[in-house]
Each structure stands twice: as structure tokens, then as C-alpha cells.
Structure 1
Amino acid sequence: MKKIFSLTLALISFLCFSFIPAKKDEISYKVDPSQTNIVWFGKKVTGIHSGSLKLKEGYVTFKNEKLAGGTFEFDMTSITVSDLKDPNYNSKLVNHLKSDDFFSVEKFPTAKFEITKAKHLGKNQYAVTGKLTIKGITKEVMFPAFVSLSDNGGAVAIITNKFKVDRTQFEIKYGSASFFDSLGDKAIDNDFELEVTQMVARR
């Protein structure tokens, strides 16, 4: 009786798992942080600053050879400034960006982005929609991306155009004329821009 019972359970399990559809058309790729370059641009009345940000880790998913999803974690402690050559001014701005006036890096050392929709526009072009989390606050952002799958399907290359992010949506209000009067030429744009100039992911 025990043998019959065991065989019955085994048969049921086999049948159940047999009818679970295999996701053979879904492939996950791991992003290589060393081959990823993310740059930022921040404008103010008197000029513009720029710098870079490192990726901590990331994954992209393809389905039927098209971008279907992805998750990315950014190392906010890695913020750099590239336009200021004076070491003192450079360090001062980096520390200010890491402070509570801006990204509160000590409290929030990482930021995240999750792709919720990738609309294929033809060839390698996509309109990407996703959830961006900065300082524990999540907002939806959209941007164009160019995604290329290698001929053997073993690697993915991704770049984007510059796209805007409204920092005030993430409670980053320092120097914003929308919240503070009489800033004059010290006002800083609400929008900052991001651009992925290189990103490589492999199976």
C-alpha cells in the first residue's frame, strides 16, 4: 500500500511539473559594472556641472530576442565631478552632492531602477519605462534606449540618450526656485540629466 501511495504521489508530481510552461524564451543577462559608464549633468543659472556614477549590479531580461525587463542598483557613494579641475572645489561639490541637501548618501548609499515596460520601436530602439528609487522615494521615469543583442546571443550592449529626472520629486529641493524665493543666479534647475554611454551585459 505504501509503495502504491508513493508511486501515486510521484506520478502526480510529474504531471504537475510537466504542465508548467518552461520559460525557454526568457534569458537573463548580468551587467558588467566595469563596462558600464553612467554620466550626469546638473544645470544652474551660472553654468553646468557634470560627473559620473557607478553601477553596483544589474540584470536585463530578454524574451523572444527583445528587451523585456531589468533591475539596476547604483552606488551613490561613487558620485564624481568631472568638470571641476581644482581639487578643493571638486571635493567640495562631491561632498555637497552626498550631503542631505542632495542625495543623503550616508542614509541612502544606493539608488535603484526597475524596468516595468520596454516598448520596441524598431531595430534596436526602445522606449523604456520604469521605477526609479532615490532616497527611498520611487517615481516613474521614461527614456529612449538603444539595445543591441550580439549575433550569438551571448551579450547585450545598451546606451541611452540624455534623459531628464525631476530631482524635486525625490525631495531634493536645495536651490530650487520652485520652493525658495530670491535665489537669483544661485538657482539650480529642478531637472538633472542622466546618460548611459556604455553598458554591457552577458549571459
Structure 2
Amino acid sequence: MTGSEPRPHDWSIDEREYARHEARRGRRYAYEELDPVRTALVVVDMVPFFTAARGVVPNVNALAAALREAGGTVAWVLPEVGPPSDWATGFYGSAVATVYAAAGGTGSLPERLIPELDARAHDVWAEKSAASAFFPGRSTLPASLAERNVDTVLITGTVTSVCCESTARDAATLGYRVVFVADGTADGWDRVQNATLRTIYRSFGDVRPTSDVLELISRRS
């Protein structure tokens, strides 16, 4: 991602990666259909602190609108705000750890989101106290999704290579069908974005653009 205006990444996955999975399972994507009612759009850390996140706001909003209309779940996950942990202070240093600990912003959870996001009061709202929204005991998100019988998660948000990747890995470990939205996640550079997309596609879930995911939702709505 370059330039002053945030935008979706120039993302790609090498054809060799597609060919590897096609040879193994006979198809490019593991999940060729989804049930919208059992699907959750998981939107990670879309707060003003992460400026690159603004580039994917339109895609996140489009997915949220489509999934709500089809009877699915939209979940907004924000960083927990509080004093830095001893681990963070030891790893980052006191000054940076303090900045990161406040990255989630102030006010209610809806007030802390990037204002342009189309969030609704009846959506799922959660905080997380770890990089992953699915790490046991560190977020209410897994319990909320279990109540809704969700089996598929669409991962969007920021930062791709940290919290989004961590969330996708743990979701896969817990048995969720993971679809990582290539142009609905944001990082600092295209090369970092693409490194994560390769890892996710190889080992943890499908990687699809917003247009593909909207088509999957519409097929079953």
C-alpha cells in the first residue's frame, strides 16, 4: 500500500499455490458455498489508530450489508483499552506499550470505530485482550458466535499480518471454516499483505476478494 490515500492492497497469490491445492483436493477453494445464517463477518480492530484501515471501509460495509440482509451475523471486535500488561511493557518498552494499550480509543464500542463504518446496534460487539479474537478467555466473540450456531467466519479488518492473521489461525484451530477477505483487510505494505495471504491460503482458510464473497452470500440468500 503506497500513497497518502488508503486503498485496498494490490494483492495476489502465486499460481503455484492455487495449483498445489487444486492437485490436493481437486478444487481451488475449500469452501465453495456458505450458509449465510451460519456465517459471521468478523471485523477486527477497525479503529482510527490504524490509518490504513480506512482503505477497506467500503468493502467491509458492502459485506456487512449483504450478510445482514441474508440473515447472517456481523461482529465488530475492538482492542481492549487499559493499562499495558507487564508482557507488553517488557517487549515493546513502556512508551510504546502505553500507546498500543490506548489504541482502541475512548467511549462506547460503537463510538470507537472508524465513523464511516456501517455498524448497527444489533450486531455482535466484542473486545479482545490478545491479538486473536478467538484465543480462549481473551474475548467474548467465540461465545457469541456459538450462540448463533456460526460455523463460517469471514475475516476482515486490520492489521492483516498481526490481529487478522492471528484471528484466522485460531478460528481454524477451533474448527471454523475461514474465509480471509483479501481486499477487506489492511496492512502497511502490499508485500506484507501478500505474505499473510499466502500463509492463510496454504494452511488455514480460503482467500477471496470481496466480489467473490458477495457472490457466495447471494447464492444462498
TM-score by length of 1: 0.28
Larger Cα-atom Rg: 1
TM-score by length of 2: 0.26
Please state which structure has a larger fraction of its residues in helix. Answer: 2
